[in-house]
Chain A
Amino acid sequence: MPGITPSQTVGPFYAYGLTPNGEYAWNDAFTNNLLTPDVTGDKIRIEGVIYDGDGKVVPDAVLEIWQADAQGRFADPQDTRGLPNSSFRGFGRSGTTDAGEYSFDTVKPGAVPGHDGKPQAPHIVMAVFGRGMTMQSMTRIYFEDEAANASDAVMNLVPADRRATIIAKKTAPGVYRFDIHLQGDNETVFFDV
């Protein structure tokens, strides 16, 4: 067996390839808006800032999210429970601004079964890429207004004093804040997956 191809940083100059966003002569395959006209469920915005170990904002990160729809179904035939009932794809990509900011417009995901068959708390999987990152770091976005967080199997693997780093705070109706700290006392929990 060949062994996998190692990851390498996206570097600082990914934008015209991955997130041209109208600034370059190339079209976007993906954007930070996951909403489709026929999508059902609660529309939400997730926004935040990414910080490095000095507390400085990171203006050259790429964030990707992958999530189920509001019914808790993935737009992937490997989810054999049946496909979503809308054109929602569940994947989004965002670069960061000069101020280290990102945002996604999406729907709040429904519950997805865990490895033990029990429902997980609603969550979004996030991959963090960037200059100075040899490979993506994987985290999860949970929501502070979900009682199911307390019994979530993955959440319970995280030391209690670090759980707040992966729970998005509701800052306005339909708006959640999820900041990312690559290092420091509030370092975001990253998973080995």
Chain B
Amino acid sequence: MTLIYPVESNAAHAPRLSPGYKSTIKRAPQKQRILMPHTLSETTGPVYGHETVRPGDHDLTTMHAGEPLGERIIVHGTVMDEDGRGVPNTLVELWQANACGRYVHVWDQHPAPLDPNFTGAGRTVTDAAGNYKFVTIKPGAYPWGNHHNAWRPAHIHFSVFGHSFVSRLVTQMYFPNDPLFPFDPIFNSVTDEKARLRMVSDFDLDVTEPGWALAYRFNIVLRGRNATPTENH
């Protein structure tokens, strides 16, 4: 079956059942997925422009009375499709822990302080070339209950829409050279090394603002209509 968005692109994703990440064991669907032709229901998707985003929603350091604690950073990049074209005017949402590795979520019981000046959520829309930019705080690593001495590498959760409902992507951005990489079953659930490393941002000296904030570049690649399988599929 030839699909409008080649289904082979999905080979980059982690298997749904990734037993090292224990929660997948009872939550990964197990029966055969049904391959189906793409129809208008799959090739269209929600179109959200600037009306969803208020001025300042991209700057997580200016949302409260004071400045949050931690290392101020710029996170920017290009949302593009597999064909290398920028994806313009698409919504990018993010959420993350604070500098201490604590989320404001009511279920997060990590004994690290909350920061009254940091919620940790933001959103923006890409420009005409697919570029986006956030200002935030570098999140801390945090412990979790998957196994003994389990820690998540510092990461920022990203949610991106793209051209269609089948290009919808939720992922996590990591920071270069994190010593926790070899030990994290969520990061390593992506078994293809090249694909896995596409989740790691690059330090970006050119965009770093002197005296103010380090910058990281994180490009996000979504499925494309005309993609040809690459060697790392």
A62-92 CB mask vs B (1 if < 8 Å, else 0) is 0010111000001111110000000001110
Partner of A7, one of B28, B46, B93, B171: B171
The answer to whether A52 has its CB under 8 Å from any CB of chain B is yes
Nearest residue, chain B, Cβ from A154? B36
Q: Which chain A residue has the least Cβ–Cβ distance from B96?
A: A17
A10 on interface, CB distance cutoff 8 Å: yes
Interface residues of B in 199-233 (CB under 8 A from A): 199, 219-223, 227-228, 230, 232-233
Asked if B38 and A193 sit within 8 Å, CB to CB, the answer is: yes
Q: Give CA–CA (A12, B43) in the complex, Å.
A: 29
Cβ-defined contact, A157 with B43, below 8 A: no
Q: In the bound complex, do residue B170 and residue A136 qualify as a contact, i.e. CB atoms below 8 Å apart?
A: yes
Nearest residue (CB) in B for A90 is: B46
B159 to A18, Cβ gap below 8 A?
yes
- Chain B, interface SS category: loop
Given contacts A6-B12, A52-B26, A125-B42, contact A24 B121 (CB under 8 A): yes
Complex Cα distance A8/B169, Å?
A: 9
Q: Is the interface of A mostly helix, strand, loop or mixed?
A: loop
- Whether the Cβ atoms of A6 and B119 lie closer than 8 Å is no
Per-residue contact bits, chain A 21-52, to B (CB 8 Å; 1 contact, 0 not): 00111110100000000000000000000001
Contact among A13, A153, A154 with B103 in the assembled complex (CB-CB below 8 Å): A13
Q: Indicate if the CB atoms of B223 and A4 lie closer than 8 Å.
A: yes
Measured between beta carbons, the chain B residues less than 8 angstroms from A10 are 157, 159, 170
Residue contacts A-B, CB under 8 angstroms, 10 given? A3-B194, A4-B12, A4-B222, A4-B223, A17-B120, A53-B26, A74-B41, A134-B24, A192-B33, A193-B3
For residue B50, give the distance in angstroms from its CB to the closest CB of chain A: 12
Q: Which residues of B contact A15 (CB under 8 A)?
A: 105
- B29 & A8 in contact (Cβ 8 Å cutoff): no
A3 touches B221 (CB 8 A): yes
CB–CB B27/A182 < 8 A:
yes
Question: Which residue of B44, B105, B123 contacts A12 across the interface (Cβ within 8 Å)?
Answer: B105
Task: Given the known inter-chain contacts A4-B222, A125-B42, A188-B29, please indicate yes or no for A11 contacting B157, CB distance below 8 A.
Answer: yes
A191 and B198 within 8 A (CB): no
Q: Is the CB of B52 within 8 A of A29?
A: yes
User: For the complex, is A168 an interface residue (Cβ under 8 Å from B)?
Assistant: no
- Of the listed stretches B78-86, B129-137, B175-183, chain A binds B78-86
Interface residues on A, range: 35 or more
A13, A153, A192 pick with most chain B CB within 10 angstroms: A13
Q: Tell yes or no: B37 within 8 A of A by CB.
A: yes
B198 in contact with A3 (CB, 8 Å):
yes
B94 near A6 (CB under 8 angstroms)?
no
Q: Is there a chain A Cβ closer than 8 Å to B9's Cβ?
A: yes
Closest to A53 in B: B26
Question: In whole angstroms, how far apart are the Cα atoms of A130 and B123 in the complex?
Answer: 20
B26 to chain A, nearest CB (A): 4
Q: Cβ of B199 and Cβ of A8 under 8 Å apart?
A: yes
How far in angstroms is the closest Cβ of chain A from B220? Answer: 5
Separation of A27 and B168 alpha carbons in the complex (Å) = 21
CB <8 Å contact, B16 and A133: yes
Closest to A114 in B: B39
Residue A105 at the chain B interface, CB threshold 8 Å: no
A93, B34: Cα distance in complex, Å: 24
A residues near B62, Cβ cutoff 8 Å: none
Interface flag for A54 (CB, 8 Å): yes
Which residues of B15-73 have CB atoms within 8 Å of chain A's CB atoms?
15-16, 18, 21-31, 33-48, 52-54, 63-64
A108 to B96, CA, bound (A): 36
Q: Is A167 an interface residue (CB 8 A)?
A: no
Q: A137-B29, A190-B29 are in contact. List 17 more A-B contacts (CB 8 A).
A: A2-B82, A2-B230, A4-B12, A6-B199, A7-B13, A27-B54, A56-B26, A74-B40, A78-B40, A113-B39, A114-B37, A125-B41, A129-B170, A132-B22, A133-B27, A187-B31, A192-B34
